[in-house]
Structure 1
Amino acid sequence: MSDTLDPLVPRPIDLPTVVDLHGPLTAELVDRMDDAKIFAAPDREDEVQAWRARLTEWRAASRARIGYDGRIYDQPDAAWAARCHAVAQVWLWDELLYDAERATFTPDRFLADARERFGGLDAVVLWHAYPVIGVDERNQWDWYRDVPGLRTLVNQLHDAGMRVFVDYNPWDVGTRRAGDDVDELASLVADLDADGVFLDTLRKAEPELVAALRAVRPGIVLEGESKLAVERIGDHATSWAQFFADSAVPGVLRAHWFERRHMQHHTRRWHRDHAEELQSAWFNGVGVMVWEVVFGVWVGWNPRDAATARRMLTVQRAADDLLLRGDWTPLAPLAPQLPGVHASRFALDGVELWALVNRSGSDVTGAVLPAGTVGTVVDLTAAPDQDQTAGGEHVHVPAQGIAAVLVLRPGAPEPSWLPDLRAAMRGLEHVRDAGFRHRVAVRVGTTAPRVTDRAAIEGETVVVPAGPWALTVRYRARETGMYQGAPYVDEWKPLPPRLHDPRTLQRDGVQTAPVAVGADEVSNGQFAQFLEATGYRPATPNRFLLHWSDGRPVPGHEDDPVVHVDLADARAYCAWRGGRLPTEDEWQLAAQTGRLRRRAPFVWNWTDSEHTDGRTRFAMLKGGSEHLAHGSDWYFDGGPQPPELTAKLLLPGLGLARSRWIGFRCAWVIEEERP
């Protein structure tokens, strides 16, 4: 048997757990079911009733084994989590949330886009440090605390009805040490008034951390990544259903069946088709995670899936009492001859919500409810030209889509929320377009500087001649990708050697004119001369020349490379010198001559390589630095690097791109040398 991992199929640990329906519920079987992600649906229809009975039997036995008391779900401050149907992972500097040109956060723009395409969000995770952390000594707390106006952003999101999660990276052990993680995280939660903590790479928080967080925020909600042990469902109100593979017929999410108030958010971050996890979420009455910019890479949702999410979330928010307190019947019996159509029924006080999914590739239209169904039938997802109360005879369940039918049994009063829901559902049609919309990153911020006389820069440059060139570029595969596209397309969890392994790409082009690249990085002393001559002050002063003292270089360090400057600062200096930053290719071509010098200490060099795809900005760094963060592969690249190595840096705003270990050198377009 080969150990080779096929990235296009689920790993064994991601597969649904087959439920043994034969014999008694032994302790061994309880343990095996305790460890499930999803309980696979039975192979035969005549086993469904026994399957549901086994799930109910397991839940009682598992709860008894651990003495389950559901303590967190009884706290009023944490009750919102059970109704948190849609959460978005958002890079703090996503260009929907942050305007790089105006240097200001734009939460209204971000939330308006979410309302238009997904029907709105209930919470956001403000992802902040990874994958830039490790470029210098700043720890994960610094990457939050150094952001001017971050508390104002949180307040604005709260005012818009959003809950806000902060991100905790337990693997951050090799950056600046301050207090221990428990105290630092608790302090951050208190200072930002955060509602929840997203536990990156952790399935659960340890009891000490839970206690510390509850001390500062009694209703704090903790969301772990992937499978949560049944023993910890009682103090983690949410969990991240990442890379959960389902059975062909929809199965039941183990953690949500164990505790209906436990909210799970389905996601497969690299997939361009989200139909299966949306159907699983709808069938189980749980939520989804909308994650379109995955650590700087665009993996946006296609129109069909965004429309499905909007339909699903609109119903879930209106009918959440049914989802939380109703009698849940997974794989409820339907009318015969409905290939690929399956349903969950949620019933409370004579009101029933039928959550229908169609796993097949063909639309199904007709009477879907079992014969003998009595009462008023409301087709909540009916087409605009159809009567929603036409008796359920022509319910349309689109291929790879969902439908919602409400049944009011005789004598049951109409729910107070039904008129508003019916109005909201008008026009929310299924969309067939499942095509992925690529975003192309384009180079921005470049200028066309004047041609410089060679004599003006003689002796301080390495000339890259005009003409064609070809380069071999090396980089470390990270979740940021490189120039274009997702590094992992429709793959299940990326693992080494696909993640963090060395990669190579070829770049070629034509140098239309010779370019002289500065042999040395710009020094502190040279930058001080620039400030004196021009009076330059950055629009955002945060972290500008943080290593200087009283506005001057520290005595004895005038010849060190100037750092704590961002792209705008470096461009301003180079323009003053009549030049510009070198492109990453010009930098490498010059460095491969062996004549580029490095000031001490070695620092990364900015290059004229700023790109944006409309959601993420990034730039390429060259040269490496003497700084190297130890302890995790998740850190940014460090250490001195050969000329061919390129590192992609996502660009944070508001001065956070200014780093102790990033400097720059200038370049000049020069005249062709005459023979």
Structure 2
Amino acid sequence: MDIHKKHVIISCTLLFLGIIFPFTISAQKSFKNSFQDLDPIQAPLIPAPSDTTQWKHFKKSLLKWREQIHEKVNYNASLYDREDFQWIRSSFNCCFLMMYDQRFYDRNNNCYTIDKILVEGQKRFGGYDIVVLWHAYPRIGLDPRNQFDFYRDMPGGLNALKEVANKLHEKGVKVYINYNPWDTGTRRESIGDIDALAMVIKAIGADGIFLDTMDRGSEEFRQKLDMSRKGVVLESELALPVEDISRHHMSWAQWFYDSPVPGILRNKWIEPRHMQHGISRWTEDKSKELQTAWMNGSGIMIWENVFGQWVGWSPRDSYILKTMYGIQHYFSEMFTSDQWEPLVNNTLATDVYASLWYDDNCQLWTLVNRSYIQKDGPLLQITLNKDWAYYDLVKGEEVFPDKSGVIEGQIIPRGIGCIVAFPKDKTLKDFDKLLSSQSLIAQEKTYNTKSVQIKASLKPVSPTKLYKSIPQNMVEIDNYEGEIPVVFNCREIGYYQSLEHDFINRGPAIPHQKITFSRHIKVNHVAIDATPVTNAQYKEFLEATGYKPRFPENFLKHWKNGEIPVGSEQHPVVYVDLDDARAYAKWAGKRLPREEEWQLAAAGKEMYKYPWGNNIQAGHCNEHTNGITTPVKAYPLGRATCGAWDMCSNTWEMTESEYNDERNRFCILKGGSSYKAEGSDWYFDGGIQTTDFAAKQLLLYPGIDRCSTVGFRCVIDLKK
């Protein structure tokens, strides 16, 4: 196996488990021996000793360890010194934006609504510094398009995305694109992946690349990015190795184990200007990541639309981050300097810990409350200086220590505190504005830990007229009420809900494995097309109606100059979206089938696994995996018991099971297809599928939604 592919597979597996295996043992070891000198190998989040008497030696060990690491890796900070990378020092809040999110693209008005995203981010979190434009997964693999095609096929293409980037830049927000190294089984570019990434970076004016499933990028990344555009950073998803900090300005702090006493972000300690973004995508309580960021002067990844599931932030956690954001920005140079002392030993409340940040004329303490009980009263004892002023930046007001230097205050359960001090005769620029802003945010204080919930609703179906008899080329499906099995591949996109309950706080239970559950259905008397709609039938519709879709991108892309390729007349029509299919159905006096109607036709009341029975048999369906379709009546042995043809593996078939939760819109596909992307479990399902198998297709825009692997058939309603 190729070493790179093997690395990606292992990384992806560990990512789902929520651990970084190489560091688990060392994390436990360093925690047990934290009172001694630190071992050379440390966990991504260095555990801190619980015994406060050990803190002094622990901090000395940290300083010594950093010097040793710098010497060992021959550390070179020149990339951090470059002027074009100074924006990183204030890039604390990063928004992971699913481009399928309906708040980002308004399909009714055909426009990107980035202002909605930014306004919401400012209102709830204080603002965004970076927006990651996530594109392909979990759609990629449904057809041969590669990850770069998904940027090109977005509404308006790369030029429109450049306008999005320009608008973000006008607001002071940087833009990332995404790289999926595991995408090796779809259509190949004529150039290498890094060159293709550099082209997209240059085309839209992006500022960084998120390295999905990777712990680092190669030296080639750095060289080619510098050639395409200055100031472009790399941010790894997995824990960035120590020796690569000098080439990567950012990395995720994802699922890091922490000690009861707040730990130290290893990479941030080695290079204080290295920005890490804390993230635990399926966890409803974000306080652990918030506290790690606050104690380490680092950032947060704000990710609510997790590949089509909505894991919303709670009002409390949003309030905490909003409180942090203004302070972090105002003191960004201090938070990214080496004038940082973790775990100062002058907190007065149980379970409250503090870090100290300082320069010649300022001291700033970041405090966290590790408990679930509010802390009121004495919080911090400082060496009192009568010539200095002291401020509580969470409340946005001046505070007055008593004679012994005790500062009182309040920290909500799992919340944060912040005290800053500086000489009374020193004027900090716009400090009054900071106080005013923080005072207003303090009025939003909330204890509400219930995350924001949304609910997907099924789009109603308008019945056809009630037919007295079954039209030609249709077959009858008797009414049925009862339980049917439904099988999904356990993927991060989930199933029918906006957030599957089983995913909360842990993610997919059995990633990339089939999961079966039961649905109670009621199907009335209907008739279904004996075959999928063919190219010839769709051409007849076009000639009769003159139908032209509002958005022509990829419409009937496989036709040549509006003509069906010779020999493909009886193949299923593809490169149509739901609206194209509905237009045909309306013209024909029909409608699209619900998922359960399609399944009942394919499986029969016997609930066969395949239209012809319970076992795969050669010569019963299209067995290609390269996307080559066959005529709809090519496999008479594969007919369903109702008489329907081609209900397995030629193309996926759209159903009228469309769901919408105002963030994501999706429909259920049935039947499998003759295309299967190989090389990664992250790809969309393909190939031969059972009659009970359902696939969830996120919907966005016709140019994206029209695929070479998806067709449809119709149904009518019959009189009982």
TM-score where L is the length of structure 1: 0.93
Amino acid at match of 1:382: K
Aligned pair partner of 2:132 in 107, 125, 128: 125
Name the residue aligned to 1:307.
319
Matched, 1:620 2:634: no
Q: How does 1:24-173 map to 2 (within 5 A)?
A: 29-30=39-40, 32-33=41-42, 36-147=43-154, 148=156, 149-173=160-184
Shift of 1:306: 0.8
Matched, 1:544 2:551: no
Matched, 1:184 2:196: yes
Shift of 1:352: 1.3
Name the residue aligned to 1:435.
450
C-alpha contact (below 8 Å) 1:299/1:486 kept by paired residues: no
Describe the shift of the 1:352–1:302 C-alpha distance in structure 2 as closer, same or farther (beyond 3 A): same
Shift of 1:431: 1.4
Describe the shift of the 1:12–1:233 C-alpha distance in structure 2 as closer, same or farther (beyond 3 A): closer
Amino acid at match of 1:425: Q
Q: How does 1:407-422 map to 2 (within 5 A)?
A: 407-409=421-423, 413-422=426-435
Aligned pair partner of 1:317 in 329, 332, 343: 329
Aligned pair partner of 2:395 in 377, 382, 396: 382
Amino acid at match of 1:186: A
Q: Give distance in 1, aligned partners of 2:140 and 2:550.
A: 24
Q: Give distance in 1, aligned partners of 2:199 and 2:66.
A: 37
Tell me, what secondary structure is at the counterpart of 1:528?
helix
Name the residue aligned to 2:645.
597
Amino acid at match of 2:463: P
Tell me, what secondary structure is at the counterpart of 2:399?
coil
Q: Give distance in 2, aligned partners of 1:142 and 1:152.
A: 18
Q: Give distance in 1, aligned partners of 2:252 and 2:366.
A: 22
C-alpha contact (below 8 Å) 2:648/2:671 kept by paired residues: no
Q: Give distance in 1, aligned partners of 2:647 and 2:268.
A: 58
Q: Give distance in 1, aligned partners of 2:177 and 2:294.
A: 26
The alignment yields a C-alpha RMSD, in angstroms, of 2.1
Q: Give distance in 2, aligned partners of 1:493 and 1:270.
A: 6
- Runs of 5+ in structure 2 lacking a partner? 1-13, 605-639
Aligned pair partner of 2:307 in 295, 299, 302: 295
- Over the matched positions of the two proteins, sequence identity in percent amounts to 37
Name the residue aligned to 1:342.
353
Q: Give distance in 2, aligned partners of 1:515 and 1:110.
A: 44
Amino acid at match of 1:439: I
Deviations for 1:120-172, whole angstroms, at most 9, x for unmatched residues? 10011111000100011100111111222222222222222211100000000
Q: Give distance in 2, aligned partners of 1:452 and 1:14.
A: 65
Deviations for 1:327-365, whole angstroms, at most 9, x for unmatched residues? 2111112243x1111111111122111111001121112
Aligned pair partner of 1:239 in 242, 251, 268: 251
Q: Give distance in 2, aligned partners of 1:437 and 1:224.
A: 28
Q: Give distance in 2, aligned partners of 1:38 and 1:107.
A: 34
Q: Give distance in 2, aligned partners of 1:489 and 1:504.
A: 15
TM-score where L is the length of structure 2: 0.87
Amino acid at match of 2:53: D
C-alpha contact (below 8 Å) 1:273/1:490 kept by paired residues: no
Matched, 1:458 2:471: yes
Tell me, what secondary structure is at the counterpart of 2:326?
helix
Q: Pick which of 365-374 and 545-554 moved more.
A: 365-374
Matched, 1:607 2:622: no
Name the residue aligned to 1:475.
488
Q: Give distance in 1, aligned partners of 2:501 and 2:667.
A: 17
Matched, 1:221 2:233: yes
Deviations for 1:608-665, whole angstroms, at most 9, x for unmatched residues? 0111111111111000001010000000000021211111111132421000000000
Q: Give distance in 1, aligned partners of 2:51 and 2:503.
A: 34
Describe the shift of the 1:184–1:234 C-alpha distance in structure 2 as closer, same or farther (beyond 3 A): same
Describe the shift of the 1:296–1:248 C-alpha distance in structure 2 as closer, same or farther (beyond 3 A): same
Q: Pick which of 212-221 and 289-298 moved more.
A: 212-221
Describe the shift of the 1:47–1:419 C-alpha distance in structure 2 as closer, same or farther (beyond 3 A): same
Describe the shift of the 1:451–1:659 C-alpha distance in structure 2 as closer, same or farther (beyond 3 A): same
Q: Pick which of 178-187 and 245-254 moved more.
A: 178-187
Q: Pick which of 267-276 and 100-109 moved more.
A: 100-109
Q: Give distance in 2, aligned partners of 1:9 and 1:641.
A: 30
Q: Give distance in 2, aligned partners of 1:632 and 1:359.
A: 40
Name the residue aligned to 1:399.
413
Describe the shift of the 1:488–1:217 C-alpha distance in structure 2 as closer, same or farther (beyond 3 A): farther
Name the residue aligned to 1:369.
380
Q: Give distance in 1, aligned partners of 2:687 and 2:496.
A: 22
Name the residue aligned to 1:665.
713
Describe the shift of the 1:501–1:601 C-alpha distance in structure 2 as closer, same or farther (beyond 3 A): closer
Q: Pick which of 123-132 and 174-183 moved more.
A: 174-183
Name the residue aligned to 2:288.
276
Tell me, what secondary structure is at the counterpart of 1:641?
coil
C-alpha contact (below 8 Å) 2:89/2:273 kept by paired residues: yes
Aligned pair partner of 1:649 in 667, 688, 697: 697
Describe the shift of the 1:415–1:551 C-alpha distance in structure 2 as closer, same or farther (beyond 3 A): same
Shift of 1:393: 3.8
Tell me, what secondary structure is at the counterpart of 2:657?
coil
Q: Give distance in 1, aligned partners of 2:147 and 2:690.
A: 28
Shift of 1:487: 6.3
Shift of 1:100: 3.0
Q: How does 1:428-577 map to 2 (within 5 A)?
A: 428-429=441-442, 430-444=445-459, 446-455=460-469, 457-484=470-497, 485-486=499-500, 489-492=503-506, 498-511=510-523, 513-577=524-588
Describe the shift of the 1:492–1:505 C-alpha distance in structure 2 as closer, same or farther (beyond 3 A): closer
Q: Give distance in 2, aligned partners of 1:402 and 1:10.
A: 26
Q: Pick which of 135-144 and 592-601 moved more.
A: 592-601
Name the residue aligned to 2:596.
585
Q: Give distance in 1, aligned partners of 2:17 and 2:392.
A: 37
Q: Pick which of 229-238 and 207-216 moved more.
A: 207-216
Name the residue aligned to 2:7.
none
Q: Give distance in 2, aligned partners of 1:135 and 1:55.
A: 49
Amino acid at match of 2:418: A
> Number of paired residues?
651
Tell me, what secondary structure is at the counterpart of 2:417?
strand
C-alpha contact (below 8 Å) 2:527/2:718 kept by paired residues: yes
Q: Give distance in 2, aligned partners of 1:298 and 1:421.
A: 33
Shift of 1:508: 1.1
Q: Give distance in 2, aligned partners of 1:358 and 1:131.
A: 38
C-alpha contact (below 8 Å) 2:18/2:255 kept by paired residues: no
Name the residue aligned to 1:358.
369
C-alpha contact (below 8 Å) 1:82/1:237 kept by paired residues: no
Deviations for 1:6-29, whole angstroms, at most 9, x for unmatched residues? x9996765654525456666xxx2
Name the residue aligned to 2:624.
none
Describe the shift of the 1:94–1:228 C-alpha distance in structure 2 as closer, same or farther (beyond 3 A): same
Q: Give distance in 2, aligned partners of 1:371 and 1:80.
A: 33
Deviations for 1:530-586, whole angstroms, at most 9, x for unmatched residues? 111111111111111111111121222111111000011111111111111101110
Describe the shift of the 1:618–1:601 C-alpha distance in structure 2 as closer, same or farther (beyond 3 A): closer
Q: Pick which of 208-217 and 84-93 moved more.
A: 208-217
Q: Give distance in 2, aligned partners of 1:443 and 1:181.
A: 39
Describe the shift of the 1:371–1:234 C-alpha distance in structure 2 as closer, same or farther (beyond 3 A): closer
Amino acid at match of 2:555: F
